[in-house]
Chain A
């Protein structure tokens, strides 16, 4: 299989001296979905922000065969679509349609082409009825879908989703999983949710203190690091008799 993302010996340190990435090596193949597990602050988001050059650190990154450099940034950003954790940060245009068309217009498409792409992406995520709505009139689930449409409208080859089920209720999470299962792109999913990972990914990696410490099937990684929700032990179960 052709590697669609290839990262070699990636390091990154924030301005305050915090070492966020420490020699990351990672490969993602075409059509593959990988879950990124790890504690808060372990470097997962910092890592994905390197994939489209928003953050830059020593090491080499190749996306769809294109080495990531300052010159290749526009090309790389058209190949990698990031759906951020907070949809409010991603939906900044006045209406849902204009927001979905923002990316295609930046890629140099004409207004008609951008509109067509935006409408098609909104239909794909089931928001065809909401094109004229302002983002603040959407529910949390709709916002997530609108943010996803804004990225899909750019026809990316890789989708990166940062905590996609944040703020979603259980039915919303179920709908999102169903929707993501229909998308053919390779995916990188940052999540704490082993259920979501098991539904979407075949492989998982585990981050710890800026290092990628494990890579393997989702179930194995979840078991190895105790990353799922275990059955509640008897002494923690709710009891009407217990005095807290």
Chain B
């Protein structure tokens, strides 16, 4: 099983990796708000914001090209809306849409790349995110790997029994639909198994918490310094 690359990035030990997730989430939040309210033609502000992200990527030791490439996942959406804005004559809105969505994606990837998802979810919960949302994300993340592994096994099994892959396209679609149905059914049974395992360990419906995060003064300084810097650059 090949785990997602970002998950591997998040297990580093740079100064950004070791910051408390809450500090990083707060800094990200301020970054996104500042970015959203920055005019599209404020080239210097946007350049400084980009430089800050670049510095973050360098400090964290994340692969620049890989991260910038992955952030392009938002471009199909933002380019479509940008094109529509351009066509109705709002050139700056079009440019703003594309540049802001791309920078936001880079910022989010940077934070995910320096924080393990379990720590990120715990941080979100500590900051007041709804417990149910965090639990769903936690289970989805945990079992995404298991389900994707099953899907890979099924794909291999299907490929092993398939002759020429270029023929019988209709049959392949039908097989894929069947595999999807089997995956769904298996996930359902697995969910039952997980619930049984939870009950066996005295689960009563309330998820207990183990507070393993410590918000240190350095984390507060980090969140405050980044936020103050971003706001100052924005209002200049």
Residue of A with least CB distance to B202: A106
The smallest C-beta distance from B185 to any residue of chain A, in angstroms, reads: 15
CB-contact partner of A89 in B3, B122, B190, under 8 A: B190
Contact of A92 with B139 in the complex, beta carbons under 8 Å:
yes
Q: Which residue of chain B is the closest to A76 with respect to CB atoms?
A: B202
Instruction: Report the number of A-B residue pairs with Cβ-Cβ less than 8 Å.
Output: 91
Instruction: List the A residue with the shortest CB-CB distance to B197.
Output: A90
Residues of A within 8 A of B48 (CB): none
Contact A92 B142 (CB under 8 A): yes
Given contacts A101-B210, A105-B208, contact A84 B193 (CB under 8 A): yes
Interface size class of B (residues with CB under 8 A): 20 to 34
B24: min CB distance to chain A, Å: 17
Interface stretch of the complex, out of A107-115, A174-182, A230-238? A107-115
B201 close to chain A: CB less than 8 A: yes
Does A210 have its Cβ within 8 Å of any Cβ on chain B?
A: no
| Cβ distance B214 to chain A, nearest Cβ, rounded Å | 13
Measured CB to CB, the nearest residue on chain B to A84 is B197
Contact call A74/B202, Cβ cutoff below 8 A: yes
Chain B interface SS verdict (over half): helix
B146 CB within 8 Å of chain A: yes
Given the interface pairs A84-B196, A89-B194, the reply to whether A107 lies near B202 with Cβ below 8 Å is yes
A86 contact from B118, B193, B204, Cβ within 8 A: B193
| A60 interface hit (Cβ, 8 Å) | no
How far, in angstroms, from A95 to B215 measured CA to CA in the complex? 20
Q: Bits for A89-103, please: 1 = Cβ < 8 Å to B, else 0.
A: 110111101100111
**Chain B interface (Cβ within 8 Å of chain A)?**
1, 3, 116-118, 121-122, 138-139, 141-143, 145-146, 190, 193-194, 196-204, 208-212
CB of A136 within 8 A of CB of B145, answer yes
Residues of A within 8 A of B118 (CB): 94-95, 98, 134
With both beta carbons as reference points, the residue of chain A lying nearest to B121 in the complex is identified as A94
Report B-chain residues with C-beta under 8 Å of the C-beta of A114: 208, 210
User: Nearest chain-A residue to B206 (Cβ)?
Assistant: A106
Whole-angstrom distance between the alpha carbons of A1 and B194 in the complex? 35
Pair A98/B210 contact, Cβ less than 8 Å: yes
Flag whether A38 is at the interface (Cβ < 8 A). Answer: no
Instruction: Verify if A151 is at the interface (C-beta below 8 Å from B).
Output: yes
Contact A77-B202, Cβ < 8 Å, known A86-B193, A88-B146, A136-B3: yes
Identity of the chain A residue whose Cβ is nearest the Cβ of B208 in the assembled complex: A105
User: How far apart sit A78 and B146, CA to CA, in the bound complex (Å)?
Assistant: 29
Q: Is B196 a contact partner of A49 (Cβ separation < 8 A)?
A: yes
A103 near B201 with CB under 8 A, answer yes
Given contacts A54-B196, A89-B190, A136-B142, contact A77 B210 (CB under 8 A): no
* A82 part of interface (Cβ distance < 8 Å): yes
Choice from A77, A94, A105 contacting B117 with Cβ under 8 Å: A94
**Which residues of A have CB within 8 Å of B197?**
82, 84, 89-90, 92
Which chain A residues border B138 with CB–CB below 8 Å?
A: 94
Q: Is the CB of A106 within 8 A of B193?
A: no
Q: Tell me the minimal C-beta distance from B21 to chain A in angstroms.
A: 12
Tell whether A154 is near chain B: CB-to-CB under 8 Å.
Answer: yes
The answer on a CB contact under 8 Å between B210 and A74 is: no
Contact of B210 among A86, A88, A111, A154 (CB under 8 A): A111
A43 within 8 Å of B by Cβ? no
Bound Cα distance from A81 to B200, whole angstroms: 7
Q: Kindly state whether residue A42 has any CB partner on chain B within 8 Å.
A: no
Tell me the complex Cα distance, A89–B197, Å.
Answer: 7
